[in-house]
Amino acid sequence: MTDNMNPGNRESAGGLRDLAGAYALNALSSDEKVDYERHLDVSEQARSEAAELAETAAILGRAAAPVQPSAALKFDLMALLASTPQLPPRAVPADAPSSDAAPSATAAPVAPQTPAVPQTPVVPQTPADRAQGAETPSPASPPSALESTVARRWFQRPAGILLSVAAAAALFFGGLAIGQGLTAPTQFEQQQAAGLAEINAAPDAQRATARATDGQKVTLVWSGELGRSALLADSLPTLPKDQAYQLWYIDAAGAVSAGTFTSSGDGTVWRVLDGTMKAGDAVGVTVEPAGGSKQPTSTPIVAIQS
């Protein structure tokens, strides 16, 4: 860890907050983990942040496809094992308990076991279970002042002609997986995962949470320095094939499309928004015809102010 992580600095709230990312990745030393978990016990904000970072770490981990070791790699590994000197077998201590078998003056050599080559990567557990606070879902609430303002602004403008925009991809998480409902190219998945990681790692990264009209939790994470944002939503309903969720950047001039996505109805879907986020922009989601619309044609299901 850096000098900022020494015990003296960890005592301050700011120093402890710096440990959040490493805690989500299980990368803290024993002492740092004890200090940070003591901080979690007394800080609701820290628990929320730790849960979000752990969720992000899980998303990024699942975004990488498992890699099957090649036959050449296995051959090279076995050849290396065969040519590497082995330690001699350990002798059985003289005072070792005797067995029913006939005793032997010396222990029989034990043939070295060939290690099995794992077929799938081992994913370390994250502290999400501990960090995730027990949140009681709240019933859907009436539209907020922001949502009402957004709706009025949108529907005072002409709907415009439907534009066939490329459906960039549907979000991700099979419970967490990019491309729920659509097949997204691997390059897109990698770009989305890298974008989300970059936003979360930004020093000015911020988060805001709201509820969709049906009560689902929706989180916006953004960085003003990067001018980028991402939206994460829990258990959004599956839409008919001729519809999609569409993201919008909203300011005083109106709404600008920021991409489309779909949802399987389970788990969390997320999407890094297209375009550039400006200071003070709100982010909204509407249900639109598949392929997207030039302007919103339905009431927003959620709007979050940055």
- pLDDT recorded at residue 294: 94
- pLDDT recorded at residue 105: 45
pLDDT at 43 over 80: yes
Give mean pLDDT, residues 151-162.
38
pLDDT at 170 over 50: no
Q: What confidence tens digit (pLDDT) does each residue in 76-119 have?
A: 676 666 656 666 666 666 665 554 444 444 444 544 444 443 44
pLDDT-above-90 percentage for the chain: 30
β-bridge mates for residue 256, sequence order: 249
- pLDDT recorded at residue 87: 66
pLDDT at 289 over 60: yes
Q: What confidence tens digit (pLDDT) does each residue in 175-220 have?
A: 333 434 344 445 777 788 888 888 988 899 999 999 999 999 999 9
- 24 near 130, Cβ under 8 Å? no
Query: In terms of Cα–Cα distance, which of 272, 271, 190 is closest to 226?
Result: 272
Mean pLDDT across the chain? 71
- pLDDT recorded at residue 250: 95
- pLDDT recorded at residue 14: 61
Which of 60-64, 148-152, 191-195 comes out lowest in average pLDDT? Answer: 148-152
pLDDT at 10 over 60: no
- 280 near 306, Cβ under 8 Å? yes
Q: What confidence tens digit (pLDDT) does each residue in 215-240 have?
A: 999 999 999 999 999 999 998 999 99
- pLDDT recorded at residue 174: 32
Give mean pLDDT, residues 1-10.
43
- pLDDT recorded at residue 49: 84
- pLDDT recorded at residue 63: 62
Q: Which residue has the higher pLDDT, 154 or 49?
A: 49
Residue-range domains of the chain with CATH? 3-65 (1.10.10), 145-305 (no CATH)
- 131 near 50, Cβ under 8 Å? yes
